[in-house]
Structures are given as C-alpha cells and as structure tokens.
Structure 1
Amino acid sequence: MMTSQEDLFPGTRRALLHRIAVAQAEGRTPSLVAAVVRDGRAVWYGARTSVDGHGPDENVQYRIGSITKTFTAVLVLRLRDEGILDLGDPLEKHLPGTGAGEATIAELLAHTSGLAAESPAPWWERTPGSLRPELSDVLGEQPFRHPVGRRHHYSNPGYTLLGALVEELRGAPWEDVLRREVLEPLGLSRTSGRPSSPHAGGWAVHPWADVMLPEPAEDLGRMAPAGQLWSTTGDLAKFAAFLMHGDDRVLSAESVGEMRTPAAPAEPADLADGVTYGLGLQIRHGDGRRLAGHSGSLPGFLANLTFSVDDDVAAVVLTNCTSGLLPAAVSADLIRIVAEAEPRIPEPWRPLPEVEPSVLELAGQWYWGTQAFVLRLTADGGVSLEPLGATGRRSRFRANGDGTWTGLEGYYAGEVLRTVRRPDGSVSHLDLGSFVFTRQPYDETADVPGGVDPEGWRGIK
C-alpha cells in the first residue's frame, strides 16, 4: 500500500496529530500509534510516545485482541461462499460433540448463540492457553447463559468454536489457514499469532500514580481465534481497506458488506449507544455517521479499527496500556476530522447506458394507497423506491434479470418488486410483496385489492 502524507492538507494532518496527542497524554499510555485510510490506501500515520527520541512507526507490532475475531469471521464467510457450509447450519452439523452444537454458525458470528462471555476460571487472558487444551475446557460444564438466538451476548468461547470449525473443515491449524487465505493475499506480512520484532511491550498504568507494571503476554492456545493476533497500523490499514471494498482473492465486496450488516438484536444499553453487531463486526451510529469495525483489548493493549463506508475513510488506533482511554472514540474522531475537513468528492454524474423502454416507463411517481412514492433507475441496473413525503418506507432493489427486482434494505429487504401488465401490454400496477402501487391514488383502472368505490373521489355534501 503506497502512502503519501501529502494526500491530506497540512491543517488536517495537524488536527489528526493533535487528537492522538491528547489521547496519549490524557489516557496516560506509554505509546499510541494511528493510521488513516482514504480511497483504499493509507494517507496518514501518526505516533506519540513517552520515550524521548523514539516514535513507533507503522511497522511496530501491537497486540490487537478481539480484532482477531474479524479475521476469524472472514475465514468462516469464505467457507460459506465456497458452499462448504451455510450460515444457518447448526454447529453440530460440521463440528459434532462440543455440547454447544445447537447454535448456528450465524449465531456464533453475531454473538447470539447464548454462550458465556468468558471461559471458566482462571482468567484466560492472563494465563497460558495450555490450561485449556480442549474445547470442553473453554466451554465448561454449563456453556450457555441464555437461550440460543434470543439475545446478543458477546462470547469469546463462541469464536473459539468458530476457529475450531475452520480447523475441522480446512484440515489445518487456524493460524496456518489464516496466513494462507487472508494474510498473504492481502499482503499483511506483519500480522502474526506471536510477536515479531519490532513490537511494543504491554503495560498496566497505575490508576492513581504515573507508574507502570509490565503485563504478561500469554499464548492463548484454543482461545487464539478470539484474540491472539499481533499486528501493525500498516497492516490494519490494508485490512480496513479490504473490509470497505472487498478483494475477490479473499472475500467479495458483497460478502464484506454482509459482515457489516446488523445481524444481532441490540440490548437496551447498546441502543442508547447506537451499537449493534454484524458478522464479526461492530456497527455504531453517531453524529449522523454509520461506522463499522472492531475493538480489541488484552492485558497491556487496547486496539480499534473503524471505518465509514459512506465517507470511504477508516482509522486504526493501537496502544500499549491495559486501560485509560477508549480507542474507538479516537478512531471515530480521526474519521470525523478527515471527513469534515476534506469531504469526499463525488463521482461525476454520467448518464445510464442503454435502458430498456419497458424499464424506463416505470420511472416516476407511484402511489401506495394515497401515499406518494417515486421510482428511479439506478446506475447499477437496479431501481430505488422512495417516499415523496417525510415519512415512508424506502429501499433499493437489485435487478434479477427476469424483469423483477429484489429489495436490498429496510422493510422491503428480500421482497420482490414486479410489474403487472394488462393484456394489451400497458402497465397496470407494481406489485411489491402484495402491496399494489398505482400511477394515481387508488387508480380505478388497476387491480386494487378491495376495489375502488365506483363513485370515485368526492367532497363533503
């Protein structure tokens, strides 16, 4: 990934540096490194450190904790795209005998499996993985805390099971599969299961005094797919670009888009914070911006990768302290700084290629009952249906190649839009999941369910 600091205006670069400097100082962390990605490549790197004359660069490794889960989710989605599994399959179908097999693969990805948040004591993040050599050691005697599929409950053991699933279906260790199928194709040469110099050491900073304590860096063993990886801002900048745009060598743009689509019901506290969860990605809404990504923490390290698809901007923040700052907030601010100071330049308007007359004649105003909508043709060959007033359901639709379209979002996601024609070939109405859209409110010439009063519209006599 080519990088040019000159891609951003000097004022923008200074604002980014100021934000991470405040974070490092107020968060009292030994060091903090960050990156910003725009238009698919890194355009800024920054670092702040408590060591004079030393600034870690984009090649210094930090532990990234649960950002590892996003990598594991990518491996699972690859298995789905190859037809080896379905996300609706129960785990038992592919990995029998775990005691948690009733949960589906999608539920494990979205943390709706009902599994416990953590493995049984002792605290797995500060003890050797050799203490938990088997999946039964990770799950314990009572692995479930909630009914399967009923609520979002973040589960580290759930991603351990997904890593074991990858190993079972690929016939190789999780880290070997990850290296072969994701790290090498994307050029992430500084991402690994164990630290490789140069790397930062993990520290705990005393909450009430400016002194530090080194944290242990344990090999997590079976728990590795939930939080083992070490990486750099350089590598995670590339990974962020992949999560925004896809890469057919790893996952298509459609599949990474599925990862950042909400798949779990939000808990009340999450609703207040505007947070939901997709398939291996957290989704947040705030300040009019939709953000996706993942945070990570292990003793001695905090990490965050966040991106805004609409702005085509991503940010990575890595630091080597156990607590004291919120990297997700810093990442969101870095994105906001760039998006507001240097807003994305839209692509030039271009006319559509040749359009079928039978499709073009559908463009314009339609009515569902008395509510006005407009149907537009979109550049990708689909259509959009939007209310003309302040309220109403809206959706984009993908062309199916047979004169019908399938909804992509909102209430109409998955619903089929089709044109109903009269015997003479003229358009009678649009049918959308049994809803009838007509050219005039309750058009008496169309097949409106329940019929239209023959006396027509009238005032009060």
Structure 2
Amino acid sequence: MRTHTGVTDVPEDVALLPTTRRSLLHRIAVAQAEGRAPSLVAAVGRGGEVVWEGARTMTEGHGPDGSVQYRIGSISKTFTAVLVMRLRDEGLLELGDPLEKHLPGTGVGEVTIAQLLSHTAGLAAETPGEWWERTPAGQRPELADVLGEQPFKHVPGSLFHYSNPGYTLLGSLVEAVRGRPWEEVLRAEVLEPLGLDRTSAEPRQPHAGGWAVHPWADVMMPEPMEDLGLMAAAGQLWSTSRDLARFAMFLTRGDDRVLSAESVREMRTPAAPPEAGNAQLGYGLGLQLLQVDGRSWAGHGGSLPGFVAGLWFSEADDVAAVVLANCTSGLPPMTVAGDLLRIVAEAEPRIPEPWRPFREADPVSLEVVGPWYWGTTPFGLRLGADGLLELGPLGVTGRAARFRPAGDGTWVGLSGYYTGETLRVVRGPDGSLSHLDLGSFVFTRLPYDAGAPVPGGVDPAGWRGIG
C-alpha cells in the first residue's frame, strides 16, 4: 500500500496541525480500503491555499499526487455554470431569458436559462437510447439526438429534476453566444486565469485509468473512456485534486478575472427546492447545497464509468475539500470530502480577521443603522466593514439578510427571504427619516409608529392597557 500526503511551502497562518493531518490521512485510508478503490487522491484548501494533499493506492512503489488527472464527471457542470454567469455579467443574456432567444430551434426553447442552471427545466435526466456515458458520441451528433422526441418529464419550473441534457444545452448556449467551442471558451476564460493548467477536456499524462471493481469479489476490469461529444459540458472534464481545491476556493470568494464575489455568492444561493427525500440537499446555479449541523456547504459530485469525484466547500469556515477515485462505485466521494471538510472545520475553527473600522462610511448608511420594528418585531440594522447592511431580528425569530448598495440610494438583498428585494429609505416632507420600505414591508423606528404610513393604519388611541 502506497501513501502520499502533505504539501510544501504552506503559509504558517493556514498550515494544518499534525493531529489534523493525521485525521485526514486516516479518513482517506479508511475510504480507500472500505471503498475498494484502486487509488484515491484528496486535497484540502484553506485561506486561499492548498494546505493538505493525500493519496492512497493499491500499487506498491507508485502513488498519485495532486497533479495526477482523474475524470470528474458532473463537476464539469459547475465549470459550465461559471461560463453562463460570465455571459450574464457581461450583459449578453439574462438568467430569465428563454433559451430560444439565444439558441433557437431546440424545441425546448420556452425553458429559461435559470431553470437549466438549477435543474428545474423539467427535462429528462438522461438522453434517449443507450447509456451515453459508455457509448460513442457519434450516436448523438445533434441536440435533437440528446433531447429525443419527448424531452420533458415535468412542467418547467415545477420541481427539481436533475438533467444531464439540460447542461448540454447550456454548453451549446455558450458556444452560440461566444461563437467558439465550449472547451476553448472554458480554457481561455476560466482555466487559464485561475491557473488550472491540469484541467482539460481530454486526459493528459499523468492520469489515472478508470476501473470497475466487482461488487462481490476483489477483482476488477478497465472501463471504456468515451469522448462525450455534445454532452461534454455535462461531464467531460479531467482534473486533479489540486486544481479542484483551487477552483473550490475561487467559488468561495470569487476572482474578478473570472467572476465577482457577488456572482459566485449568487451561484451558492438556493434556486431549487431540496431533492425529494433529502430536505438538507438543495441546488443553486450549478452547485449542490447542503445543510450539515448548522453549517452551509456548497459543491458538486461527479461520476463516469471508472471514476467518482466529490467537492465541498464552506464559505463560513473558509475550507474546501476534494476527493477523486478511479472506481465506478463503492466509494462515496461526496461523503468523504464532507468528512475532510468537517475534520478541519471542527479541529481548527477559522480564526476571525482582525476588526477594522469602515474607511468611508456613507452618511445615509450611518443614518439608517440601529433598531427598527416590523410591526412589533424588533430588528437591528448595522453597517459592516465591507459596506454591506446587515438586517437581523433582535432576540426573536425572524428573517435576516444582507444588502449591498445599488448606487442610487437603495440597497439590494443578497441572502435569505429578501434576496433580490430592494431596501429603500423613505423621508418625510421635511427630509427627516420616516421609515424603511423593504419589498412593501414598512420598518419603523417605533413599534407601529403612528407617524409612519403603516399598512392598515394605527389605532388613533395608541397603546393602552386593559381596564
């Protein structure tokens, strides 16, 4: 049994403790042994750095490291989603646009781009005909071959239904808008700017071979490795644990060369209901979302014959974990990656950044901070050092949200119930602060302030006791 673990030149402030590294190694060793994986590689990122790498393999004297490619399957969808979000940010399309506006002639053009990103377009999970992951792409030369004669299984927008053909359409959308192949656009706009030089559509040495391990015997056979053709945007990519850890950290904080922090935050915002039978697992825009013991994780899993992959990251903990293996089944990479993330988050909680005052506080922002009331429910509104307004209930249950300035004296919701909603300051005839309007909800400085236009009015007799 061969073990590889550790990285060099990790900054001291993010380096992991020896006990944590030992726990990570133990977890992947158990996973490789119990999952009967020919090989397994893993990586953990923290503070923008890859801080740990580990691997286990059946081969004596030779083991993979963070530069060995594995096929990552549906994690490719997250890369495709990033490309679509770039098109949106450039003003070339809107997420609410029907597909037909930019990619005519598919026969499913009434579905929106957002529905395709969030798997709520109602399309079939798989292509018609033979299993596309194990058959030549020449069997599906056109989008009509990917969609089939009956592409819809559900009413668009009615529920979450994972769809591989849906992401094929998104890949074709990228090609139609950019006028270049999906792979070429991905390389120029995402891989090269982020330095992911070991991520590619075709395998590059060194890379792992894909294997099927017999479910009832300790024997195995090689799996075929087909080019996916039109389905590439749904699952074609090869990558490494090191590249994917870096990609995951980009998804936690953004990079203005690719996508802003605000746009990657939007990708992590729930856009579809939880999967049936799993209330903890939802979906954003190209990302799976998970609630674990009060923590919010985002990421994606992937599989193709011979390979399984898992990627999770936590913005709050500033930790990302990746697990890749070259077996068709048996090993749950998303579970193992989640375990690695949890080990680091619990053993070495994130050290907060030093408090620093806001450099240039907007006078209007300062004017509106403090206590507010929605009816009789107390809320606090504060200005963070990042320039965002943070609204939250005080001592009671209620809706919390963060708001960014829109540049016109209003703020736009970034989280929770108020995502996308507008927060406005309303003033009286004399210019004094009257109330806040948040999606038609009136917040006043006093509970049911008679001087503010509270919907339904306020009893003229005011507050009183009984007797």
- TM-score (norm: length of structure 2): 0.94
Q: CA deviation at 1:66?
A: 0.6
The answer to whether the Cα contact below 8 Å between 1:3 and 1:42 also exists between their aligned partners in 2 is no
Aligned to 1:165: 173
Give the root-mean-square deviation of aligned CA atoms: 1.8
Does the CA contact (< 8 Å) of 1:304 and 1:318 recur in 2? Answer: yes
CA 261–230 in structure 1, closer or farther in 2 if over 3 Å, else same: same
Deviation at 1:356?
A: 4.9
- C-alpha contact (below 8 Å) 2:118/2:286 kept by paired residues: yes
C-alpha deviations, 1:314-346, integer Å up to 9, x for none? 011000000002111111111111111111110
Q: Does 1:147 pair with 2:147?
A: no
Q: Structure 1: how far apart are the matches of 2:227 and 2:305? A: 12
Give the distance between the partners of 2:262 and 2:360, measured in 1 at CA.
25
TM superposition shift of 1:185? 1.6
Residue 285 (structure 2) pairs with residue 279 (structure 1): yes
Partner of 2:197: 189
Specify which of 357, 362, 370 is matched with residue 376 of structure 2.
370
* 3-state secondary structure, aligned to 1:154: coil
Equivalent residue in structure 2 for 1:304, among 310, 322, 332: 310
Structure 1 vs Structure 2: percent identity of aligned residues? 73
C-alpha distance in 1 between matches for 2:102 and 2:450: 56
Structure 2 unaligned spans of 5+ = 1-6
Partner of residue 445, structure 1:
451
Shift of 1:358: 4.7
Aligned to 1:80: 88
- Paired residues of 2:423 and 2:436 also in contact (CA < 8 A): yes
Match of 1:92 in 2: 100
Change (3 A) 1:196 1:419: closer
SS of residue paired to 1:268: coil
Equivalences for residues 346-365 of structure 1 within 5 A? 346-365=352-371
- The secondary structure found in structure 2 opposite 1:42 is strand
> What does 1:188-227 correspond to in 2, within 5 Å?
188-227=196-235
Cα distance, 1:28 vs structure 2: 0.8
Distance (Å, rounded) in 2 between the aligned partners of 1:220 and 1:106: 24
Residues 456 and 84 of structure 1: is their aligned pair in 2 closer, same or farther, counting only changes over 3 Å?
A: closer
Equivalence for 2:259: 251
Q: In structure 2, how many angstroms separate the alpha carbons of the residues matched to 1:94 and 1:451?
A: 48
1:344 equivalent in alignment to 2:350? yes
Aligned pair partner of 2:58 in 47, 50, 58: 50
**Matched residue SS, 1:269:** coil
Could you tell me which amino acid in structure 2 is paired with residue 124 of structure 1? W
Q: Distance in 2 between matches of 1:249 and 1:360?
A: 32
Indicate the residue corresponding to 2:3 in structure 1: none
Write the deviation string for residues 378-420 of structure 1: whole angstroms up to 9, x where unpaired.
2222322211123112222222334332222222223332333
Note the C-alpha offset of 1:433: 2.8
Alignment of 1:363-402 (within 5 A): 363-402=369-408
Segments of structure 1 that go 5 or more residues without pairing to the other structure are none
What is the letter of the counterpart of residue 29 of structure 1?
A
Cα distance change, pair 169–412 in 1 and its aligned pair in 2 (3 A): closer
The within-5 A match list for 1:64-75 is 64-75=72-83
Instruction: Give the partner amino acid of 2:464.
Output: R
Matched residue, 2:414: 408
Aligned to 1:178: 186
Deviation, 1:226, is 0.8
Instruction: For 1:416, give the aligned amino acid.
Output: T
| Structure 1 equivalent of residue 4 of structure 2 | none
Relative to structure 1, is the Cα distance of residues 90 and 2 closer, same or farther in structure 2, using a 3 angstrom cutoff? farther
Aligned length: 459
Q: TM-score scaled by structure 1?
A: 0.95
Name the SS for the 2:379 alignment partner: strand
Match of 1:455 among 456, 461, 465: 461
User: Which letter maps to 1:26?
Assistant: E
Matched, 1:24 2:18: no
- Equivalent AA in structure 1 for residue 340 of structure 2: L
The Cα shift of 1:127 comes to 0.9
Letter in 1 for 2:165: P
Deviation at 1:348, TM superposition (A): 1.1
- 1:271-293 CA-to-partner distances (Å, cap 9, x unmatched) read 2xx11111111111112211111
What corresponds to 1:331 in structure 2? 337
Q: Deviations over 1:203-223 (max 9, x none)?
A: 111111111111111111111
Greater displacement, 292-301 / 93-102: 93-102
Corresponding residue of 2:325? 319
Q: Deviations over 1:131-179 (max 9, x none)?
A: 1111111111111111112111111111111111122222222112211
AA aligned to 1:391 is T
* Runs of 4+ off more than 6 Å: none
Secondary structure of the 2:119 match is coil
- The residue aligned with 1:431 is 437
CA distance in structure 1 between the aligned counterparts of 2:289 and 2:77, rounded to whole angstroms: 14
Q: Is the 8 A contact 1:5 1:44 kept in 2?
A: no
- SS of the aligned residue for 1:217 comes to coil
Q: Which amino acid aligns with 1:331?
A: A
